[in-house]
Amino acid sequence: MLSIIIPVLNESESLAQLFDEIRTVGQQQGLTLEVIFVDDGSRDRSWEVIRELSANDARVSGIRFRRNFGKAAALTAGMRAATGELLMMMDADLQDDPAEIPNFLAELNKGFDVVNGWKQRRLDPWHKVYPSRVFNGMIGWLTGLRLHDHNCGLKLFRQSVAREIRIYGELHRFIPVLAHARGFRVTELPVHHRERQFGHSKYGVRRFLRGFLDLLTVKFLTGFGQSPQHMLGAIGLTFLGLGGLGLSYLAVLWLLMNIPPSLGITPIIVATPIGSRPLLAYSVAATLLGGQSLSLGLLAELIVSNTVREQETYSVAERVRQD
């Protein structure tokens, strides 16, 4: 069974047409489908439309949030409710084309676990397209998973992927990255991107700032989630080293400026107050920052060791047993 999860936010005008297109593709391909609409606190008639679709077709189910909790929460609720072996994410604004479903299934059957859409010819304003390209390049550079369009709303993955990854906040755009970090095979597929017919884009300039912060979070979780001291400790040792070098340099200067007269040696350097040198403040600050980073790393290690569950530290692809 293929479970299609569709987050909905004030998109009542497009829901009936979207489901009709999905139903047509399912009939043509002989697919067993379930469609899960998740109403993320809509203010229009979206929930009424979902109820009507569900009453007319048993393959449709709906989940309604009390208020807007965000796309990641809507997808999480949909994934928990899904019963299919395969899960597909799809936006409700009709820009994602259901006719792509057979192509995604064919690509997944080549041995992949996640198929990510790639809007090769993107019908969006330039001020969304070019920053998106830069952002996708940054994701590939930091995570090692190089895809053209991480944020494409059209994604297909196996139920095993949904069981092992946890998305919150706005981490839904990083599902391929999180899956890749667990060892799943990820690929991308060019898709037909359609012009918006109803409503307006829900993303603004703030999206890119939040996306960058989320990227740092994902990099930390996937790279150091089980060993935070490897990052925090490295930062701490670096600053401790810099601070120690600065303080050592100032100590040598002080000794050279304050040679006792009884030794009969003329001071090499004219005596000046060490406290007036900016290097002292920088060195002390670096030493304190290094100590704090090491301390935070130790605390993070204590938290991880006492809270992480064993099954979260690895991912099993297959089992075999001989009786």
DSSP state of 230: H
Q: Is residue 323 part of a domain?
A: no
Verify that 80 and 172 share a domain, yes or no: yes
Verify that 92 and 166 share a domain, yes or no: yes
Verify that 116 and 193 share a domain, yes or no: yes
What is the identity of the amino acid at 276?
A: S
Verify that 96 and 109 share a domain, yes or no: yes
DSSP states along 23-64: HHHHHHHT--EEEEEEE-S-SSSHHHHHHHHHHH-TTEEEEE
Verify that 59 and 186 share a domain, yes or no: yes
Burial of 121 (C-beta count, 10 Å sphere; 0-12/13-18/19+) = exposed
Q: Is residue 215 part of a domain?
A: yes
Task: Tell me what pLDDT residue 205 has.
Answer: 57
Q: Is residue 312 part of a domain?
A: no
DSSP state of 231: H
* Distance from C-alpha of 164 to C-alpha of 278, rounded to nearest angstrom: 51
Verify that 137 and 26 share a domain, yes or no: yes
* Distance from C-alpha of 34 to C-alpha of 290, rounded to nearest angstrom: 53
Verify that 17 and 108 share a domain, yes or no: yes
* Distance from C-alpha of 120 to C-alpha of 232, rounded to nearest angstrom: 39
Pairing of strands 155-158, 86-89: antiparallel
Distance from the Cα of residue 272 to its chain's centroid: 53
Q: Is residue 266 part of a domain?
A: yes
**Helices 278-307 and 229-257 meet at what angle, rounded to 10?**
160
Verify that 235 and 210 share a domain, yes or no: no
Tell which of 203, 224, 245 closes a domain.
Answer: 224
Q: Is residue 148 part of a domain?
A: yes
Q: Is residue 24 part of a domain?
A: yes
CB 121 within 8 A of CB 139: no
Question: Closest Cα partner for 108 from 165, 166, 161?
Answer: 161
* 3 state SS of 155: strand
Domain with residue 155: its CATH number is 3.90.550.10
CB 38 within 8 A of CB 80: no
Task: Tell me what pLDDT residue 267 has.
Answer: 65
pTM listed for this prediction: 0.77
Verify that 198 and 137 share a domain, yes or no: yes
In tens digits, the chain (323 residues) has pLDDT values of 999 999 999 999 999 999 999 999 999 999 999 999 999 999 999 999 999 999 999 999 999 999 999 898 999 999 999 999 999 999 998 989 999 999 999 999 999 999 999 988 766 665 666 777 888 888 888 888 999 888 888 999 999 999 988 888 778 889 999 999 889 999 999 998 887 776 566 555 566 677 778 888 888 878 787 788 888 899 999 999 999 999 999 998 888 887 776 766 666 676 678 888 899 999 999 999 999 999 998 988 888 777 765 545 555 666 556 54
Q: Is residue 79 part of a domain?
A: yes
Verify that 176 and 243 share a domain, yes or no: no
CB 34 within 8 A of CB 5: no
Provide the sign of the torsion angle of the four alpha carbons 222, 228, 234, 236, taken in this order: positive
* Distance from C-alpha of 221 to C-alpha of 179, rounded to nearest angstrom: 12
Q: Which domain does 33 fall in, by range?
A: 2-224
Question: Closest Cα partner for 85 from 115, 113, 57, 117?
Answer: 113
Provide the number of structural domains found in the chain.
2
Verify that 170 and 45 share a domain, yes or no: yes
Task: Tell me what pLDDT residue 199 has.
Answer: 57
3-class secondary structure per residue, 243-297? HHHHHHHHHHHHHHHCCCHHHCCCCCCCCCCHHHCHHHHHHHHHHHHHHHHHHHH
DSSP states along 50-105: HHHHHHH-TTEEEEE-SS---HHHHHHHHHHH--SSEEEE--SSS-B-GGGHHHHH
* Distance from C-alpha of 7 to C-alpha of 153, rounded to nearest angstrom: 10
* 3 state SS of 316: coil
Q: Is residue 316 part of a domain?
A: no
Verify that 258 and 205 share a domain, yes or no: no
